[in-house]
């Protein structure tokens, strides 16, 4: 299979490297990668979607072949949303896109899915291993208390999130990535089920990882400490890897508080599920987007919400 077409997209003070698969007249799908990845993490999925969709993946600011601005302000949610808007303007100005995010790509996509800036521009959203930070802030308040049945799972997630505090330290994260980044592929193939022949990680991994720590420092504490109410009418598909060592399933709890249009698909996989299970992920994306396109999507029936979600 031939490689994707490439282009540069001017965004909010930066240029982004974007890659395209499939016919430009097909329904548009936009794939947003997480940390410490580049758009290369989506290549196995994009190849499988290209026969039905016009697929775009781009390197977010600070990663891959995109520009690397300095300073925390350059990595705030508003800047990331402006970047996504520029990508949509470039690849699908007149047609809503099917947005797919993984890890931080999902986290900052939630900003647009639950906001007003890109209202009407997103036809559906598939979220993988990346919750809305505002939703998590409310979840912590509701469930992180004595005798709540979810408290053990919340504590387990806190333990798994140790690296977030580490990324807030000066100097040490950069030194760690520069010293150990060359072992990342062995980690993925050895414990995450990622095949050794995938086009990942990118040669820019160490620099991407160092730049990307700004995402955590610019956004995590403000959103978790002061969460906003963030409902949405965009149809949501949650793909939940049950062996995810970074984002455990508890963080997707309570999404039904914020939308009626949500479907869940647990999958027996680790964090980098688009690399370990690309066929299944592509199939889920295609099926969900296809039902939106042909009008057969219906709001799923929900069980009663957890009482903690109402508080």
The DSSP line for 203-248 is TTHHHHHHHHHHHHHHHHHHHHHSPPP----S-EEEEEETT-SSS-
Instruction: Specify if 48 maps to a domain.
Output: yes
pLDDT interval class at 310 (50, 70, 90): very low
Is residue 311, in this structure, part of any structural domain at all? no
pLDDT value, residue 144: 86
In sequence order, the 6+-apart residues with CB closer than 8 A to the CB of 156 are 248, 250
DSSP 117: T
Strands 5-10 and 15-21: antiparallel
16: enclosing H helix or E strand: strand 15-21
| Number of residues assigned to the chain | 311
Average pLDDT over every residue of 228-249? 96
Minimal CA–CA distance to 37: which of 105, 106, 112?
Answer: 105
Does 307 fall in a domain?
Answer: no
Average pLDDT of the chain to the nearest whole number = 92
Which CATH number does the domain housing residue 202 bear? 3.40.50.1820
8 Å CB contact between 50 and 22: yes
The answer to whether residue 208 is domain-embedded is: yes
What is the pTM assigned to this prediction?
Answer: 0.93
pLDDT at 146: 87
pLDDT, average across residues 268-281: 97
Query: What's the distance, Cα to Cα, between the start and end of the chain in Å?
Result: 52
Lowest mean pLDDT among 27-41, 46-60, 120-134, 173-187: 173-187
Q: Measured on CA atoms in the order 32, 38, 39, 43, is the torsion positive or negative?
A: negative
Tell how many helices (H) and how many strands (E) occur in the chain. Answer: 11, 8
Task: Report the range of poorest mean pLDDT among 19-23, 122-126, 160-164.
Answer: 160-164
204 in any annotated domain: yes
- Is residue 146 assigned to a domain? yes
Q: Give the pairing type, strands 97-102 and 54-58.
A: unpaired
Q: What is the pLDDT of residue 32?
A: 98
Structural domain count, the chain: 1
Q: Reply yes or no on whether the pLDDT at 299 is more than 60.
A: no
Residue 303 within any structural domain of the chain: no
Whether residue 229 is predicted with pLDDT greater than 50 in this model: the reply is yes
Tell me which of 36-45, 170-179, 293-302 is least confident. 293-302
Q: How confident is the model at residue 2 (pLDDT cuts 50, 70, 90)?
A: low
The reply to whether 56 falls in a domain is yes
CB environment 96-116: b (16+ within 10 A), e (fewer): bbbbbbbbbbbbbbbbbbbee
* Of 14-18, 139-143, 307-311, the least confident: 307-311
- Backbone torsions φ then ψ of 85, nearest 5 degrees: -60, -40
Give me the pLDDT at residue 295, please. 86
Query: What confidence tier does 309 reach under pLDDT thresholds 50, 70, 90?
Result: very low
Overall average pLDDT of the 43-54 stretch: 97
Examine the pLDDT at 10 and tell me if it is beyond 70: yes
- Mean local confidence (pLDDT), 24-48: 97
Per-residue pLDDT reduced to its tens digit, 120-157: 999 999 999 999 999 999 999 998 888 899 999 999 99
pLDDT of residue 159: 92
Residue range of the domain that includes 74 = 5-297
Mean pLDDT value of segment 220-230: 95
Report which of 268, 267, 261 is spatially closest to residue 288, judged by C-alpha positions. 261
């Amino acid at each position: 299979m031939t490689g994707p077409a490439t282009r540069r997209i001017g965004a909010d003070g930066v240029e982004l490297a974007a890659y395209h698969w499939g016919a430009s007249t097909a329904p548009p799908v936009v794939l947003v990668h997480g940390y410490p990845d580049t758009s290369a993490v989506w290549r196995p999925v994009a190849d499988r979607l290209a026969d039905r969709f016009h697929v775009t993946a781009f390197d977010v600011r600070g990663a891959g072949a995109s520009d690397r601005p300095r300073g925390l302000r350059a990595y705030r949610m508003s800047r990331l949303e402006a970047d996504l808007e520029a990508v949509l303007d470039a690849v699908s100005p007149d047609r809503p896109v099917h947005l797919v995010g993984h890890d931080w790509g999902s986290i900052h996509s939630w900003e647009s899915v639950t906001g007003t800036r890109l209202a009407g521009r997103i036809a559906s959203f598939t979220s993988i291993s990346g919750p809305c930070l505002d939703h998590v802030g409310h979840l912590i308040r509701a469930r992180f208390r004595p005798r709540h049945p979810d408290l053990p799972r919340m504590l387990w997630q806190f333990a798994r999130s140790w690296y977030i505090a580490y990324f807030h330290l000066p100097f040490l994260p950069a030194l760690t990535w520069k010293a150990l980044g060359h072992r990342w592929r062995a980690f993925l193939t050895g414990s995450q089920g990622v095949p050794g022949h995938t086009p990942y990680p990118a040669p820019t991994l160490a620099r991407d990882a160092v730049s990307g720590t700004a995402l955590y420092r610019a956004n995590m504490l403000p959103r978790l400490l002061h969460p906003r109410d963030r409902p949405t009418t965009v149809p949501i598909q949650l793909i939940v890897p049950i062996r995810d060592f970074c984002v455990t399933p508890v963080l997707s709890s309570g999404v039904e508080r914020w939308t009626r249009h949500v479907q869940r698909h647990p999958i027996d996989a680790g964090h980098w599920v688009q690399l370990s299970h690309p066929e299944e992920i592509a199939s889920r994306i295609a099926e969900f987007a296809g039902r939106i396109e042909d009008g057969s999507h219906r709001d799923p029936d929900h069980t009663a919400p957890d009482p903690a979600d109402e508080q």
